[in-house]
Structure 1
Amino acid sequence: MTIHPDRPATLDVAALRNLMDSGPAPRLIDVRTPGEFETAHIPGSVNVPLDLLREHRARLRAHLEGPRWEQVVLVCRSGQRAAQAAAALSGAGQAAPRLLEGGILAWQGTGAPLRTGRARWELERQVRLVAGSLVLTSILASTLFPPAKWLAAAIGGGLTFAALSNTCAMGMLLAKLPYNRGPRRPSLEAVLGRLAQREATS
């Protein structure tokens, strides 16, 4: 499979499962929040939340680069955050890591193995709830206080910008809530140790 330097390649579920079965095992990096990861993740994957990855991308890239760089596969719920992670990890002239096409949703849809824990709402669902609630509340409030309608306009503008820029400020803020952090946010040292452990056993 050809990997374009500025356009990460994707693997479908069947291709990833074949890669996992044929060895050496790929380095699966799940960039969702710790809470989402705790709810359900691919066995053997390592949780590196997107904000942590962006904050320490230079050290993570240095750790991941080498003969098995092409074995790195990024995973999220549907592919959007994994694409952002790939962009963050791609250096000048360095090919982007591959992504699991369709993310965990596609993996679950095929009945592939999952390790599950405490159920939580996915981050995208939380964004829809908060954005929808703010718009509804502002429209209702505007019947008594007309300027409140501008909150709905601001939310609409924010969602439009999120779509155009492929980012989501509301999602990044919600990711910081204790609900989404899970038992605890992994440290960089813990992440590097987990990645090293996976490499040693693969």
Structure 2
Amino acid sequence: MTSNASRTAVIDSAALQRLIQEGRGPRLLDVRTPGEFRTVHIPGACNVPMAVLREHRTELLSHLDENVVLVCRSGSRASQAQASFAEAGLPNLRVLDGGMIAWESAGAPVDRGSERWDMERQVRLVAGSIVLTTGLAGLLVPGVHLIGTAVGAGLVYAAVSNSCAMGVLLSKTPYNRGPRTDIRTVVKALRDKP
């Protein structure tokens, strides 16, 4: 199925789960950070964070066909990954509609690790803390509240552009990074999966 709004090919959780149960499951590439992936992921998914994907997409292309579903938290990063692969010559990859949020809501199977805050929650904490702190400091120091205004403007831009600079910065912190994703390990995992 294709979303008319974004022209991104999507597959919903029920259809993907049915394919997996029938033994016709596509390869699953999870483009979230290693920290997010370790917290919860679809069994059999391969973690290829966006930074690794962007840097090594041509290497990955030779190990992929069009039977791939891209996964992230909500579908946004997976749609960006789909666009990146389409630019590189693999246009028909699908995105899990609603991402891991929809997958878990459907009661589909997951592998769980240690609990971590997802990226959206981290962005809300950092942005909210900056706005609260600068708002209170602005009572004592004139003009400091404008920092909170700038953060608010950044959040509006993030919503309109469907990208988030703060999320990109937070993904580079040790909390989210975890062990570096090695492209050789990813390629080996892709070769080993049918």
Normalised to the residue count of structure 1, the TM-score between the two structures is 0.89
Q: Figure out how many residues of one structure are paired with residues of the other and give that number.
A: 193
C-alpha spacing 1:29/1:93, structure 2 compared with 1 (3 Å): closer
Q: CA deviation at 1:103?
A: 0.8
Q: C-alpha separation between the residues in 2 aligned to 1:153 and 1:61? A: 42
SS of 1:73 mapped into structure 2: strand
C-alpha spacing 1:151/1:96, structure 2 compared with 1 (3 Å): farther
SS of 1:56 mapped into structure 2: helix
Identity of aligned residues (%): 54
Q: CA deviation at 1:143?
A: 0.8
Is 1:70 matched with 2:71? Answer: no
Q: CA deviation at 1:32?
A: 0.8
Q: C-alpha separation between the residues in 2 aligned to 1:99 and 1:140? A: 42
Aligned position for 2:182: 187
SS of 1:8 mapped into structure 2: coil
What aligned pairs does 1:45-56 form with structure 2 within 5 A after superposition? 45-56=45-56
C-alpha spacing 1:192/1:94, structure 2 compared with 1 (3 Å): closer
Structure 2 unaligned blocks of 5 or more: none
After superposing the two structures, state which structure 1 stretch, 113-122 or 52-61, moved more.
52-61
SS of 2:80 mapped into structure 1: helix
Larger relative contact order (Cα-Cα within 8 Å, sequence gap ≥ 6): 1
Do the aligned residues in 2 keep the contact of 1:8 with 1:95 (CA within 8 Å)?
no
Q: C-alpha separation between the residues in 2 aligned to 1:63 and 1:166? A: 29
Tell me how large the CA RMSD over aligned residues is.
Answer: 1.9
Aligned position for 1:90: 86
Q: C-alpha separation between the residues in 2 aligned to 1:3 and 1:105? A: 18
Pick from 156, 165, 190 the counterpart of residue 169 of structure 1. Answer: 165
Normalised to the residue count of structure 2, the TM-score between the two structures is 0.92
Do the aligned residues in 2 keep the contact of 1:3 with 1:96 (CA within 8 Å)?
no
Is 1:101 matched with 2:97? Answer: yes
